[in-house]
Structure 1
Amino acid sequence: MNGNNLISKKVAIAGASGLVGHYLLEGLIKDESVSEIHAYCRKDLKIKHPKIIVHLVDFNNLPTFPIIDELYLAIGTTKKQAGNQENYRAIDFTVNLNIAQKAISSGVKSIALVSALGADAKSKIFYNRLKGELEDALIKLAPEKLLIVRPSFLLGNRIVLGQKERFSEKLVENLYKIFKFLFPINLKPIKAKSVADFILSELQNTKKNRIVLSSEIQKFEKI
């Protein structure tokens, strides 16, 4: 990330314990232009650093946010973890929207969201529809800059991060190793670190609402 545009930048992140969130946090720590990282979590983070200020919160009853320049949203769950669609919506939609609303009330100018391939508010598939509804809700909040990325299946070692492997990700990864020549670029699995690196590089270059497909991140990965 280019640190020349803004000195002593204060940022917030939600979902730092997740796969993409972990790499976002690592990148923000290394960014010399970032002076404070406000991490909003349900439990403490394994990563410790003087820049990081951990806020252990109830996401349904968030405190007032400090003044921040950028917000990174990487919170998400799985069908298995959520148990039902109501819980799924409460996490993937309501929590993300609540955080964004609080951040905008505190003056945030730039927001980055890790969405998903196929996000569409009109989709008949619940997961895709939920992601699309969240995207639309954030667009209506009208931050100065909104970067939405829609990565394909994520590659990364969740076990090292203390997370459980996701069957669907592992299945696609193994299939890709055998049939990679059959995968369209937009469906190719992508490294979680590449997604995070793209977000950190491109948020400052984003104008108003920008939605980025996995294929564009794949091209960035090769540069």
Structure 2
Amino acid sequence: MTGQRHIAIAGASGLVGNALLLNALDDPSIGAVHVLCRRPVKVSHPKLLEHQVDFQLIPPLPAIDEVYLAVGTTMHQAGSRAAFRAVDLAINLAVAQAALAAGAQRIGVVSAMAANPKSRFFYNRVKGELEQALTALSPDGLVIARPSMLLGDRQTLGQPVRLSETLTKYISQAVKPLIPRDYRPIEAQKVARALLTHVPTADQTIILRSGEMQTA
């Protein structure tokens, strides 16, 4: 290492993952950004190092200091509970394990506002199980971002626009003062900035609630 941090990002094609990537490339304290992906990302930069991988069998990674986990899908896209768990839990956990083996000391993960391993709602339960599994890895620092509904330009990223997000955005703007901060939709950019701010110095498990990240 040269005094600059070397980081890895999984899920750089998503809203938060892409924001993590762009912010990291602009950060002078970061010397290399390793992106784990199935397909090439639509970004070119001297610090960017792409690793097209099969997430079922992740090869040894280069030396890194931090890993950011932003891999996620929806139940509709996944098609089944097993497929959803294979993405949101299994892939993120496998990347974390590979990153720790490569020397990473800190982990940042995009979870969900109501994540709870005992939740009766499957989505929140899986997110909670991921948080639990990452905690069990005992990294030096673990930063868990629990955003409310995410806002961002999915169309530019080649993702289908979600009607629920569009409706929520306009409705929330009209009644924003009445909505508690934790429940207001949040821009993916703010979640990414909050993670990049807290992960480098984390020395314990930190949970970032959506309201806290609104000012990032």
Q: Is this a same-fold pair by TM over 0.5?
A: yes
Does residue 1:57 correspond to 2:57, yes or no? no
Q: Is the 2:56–2:91 Cα contact (8 Å) retained in structure 1?
A: yes
| Equivalent position of 1:3 in the other structure | none
| Equivalent position of 1:17 in the other structure | 13
Does residue 1:217 correspond to 2:213, yes or no? yes
Q: Identify which range, 180-189 or 83-92, moves more after superposition.
A: 180-189
How far the C-alpha of 1:69 sits from its partner, in A, is 0.3
How far the C-alpha of 1:205 sits from its partner, in A, is 3.2
Q: Identify which range, 149-158 or 170-179, moves more after superposition.
A: 170-179
How far the C-alpha of 1:7 sits from its partner, in A, is 2.1
Residue aligned with 1:98, SS: helix
How far the C-alpha of 1:171 sits from its partner, in A, is 2.4
Q: Deviations over 1:31-77 (max 9, x none)?
A: 11211111000100001111111111110011011110010101100
How far the C-alpha of 1:204 sits from its partner, in A, is 2.2
**Cα distance in 1, alignment partners of residues 147 and 174 from structure 2:** 21
Q: 149, 155, 171: which is aligned to 1:153?
A: 149
Matched letter for residue 195 of structure 1: V
**Cα distance in 2, alignment partners of residues 102 and 161 from structure 1:** 27
Q: Is the 2:7–2:66 Cα contact (8 Å) retained in structure 1?
A: yes
What stretches of structure 2 of length at least 5 have no aligned partner? none
Residue aligned with 1:26, SS: helix
How far the C-alpha of 1:174 sits from its partner, in A, is 2.3
Residue aligned with 2:40, SS: coil
How far the C-alpha of 1:122 sits from its partner, in A, is 0.5
What stretches of structure 1 of length at least 5 have no aligned partner? 1-5
Residue aligned with 2:49, SS: strand
| Equivalent position of 2:104 in the other structure | 108
How far the C-alpha of 1:10 sits from its partner, in A, is 1.1
With structure 2 as the length reference, what TM-score do the two structures score? 0.96
Q: Is the 2:66–2:105 Cα contact (8 Å) retained in structure 1?
A: yes
Q: Identify which range, 164-173 or 64-73, moves more after superposition.
A: 164-173
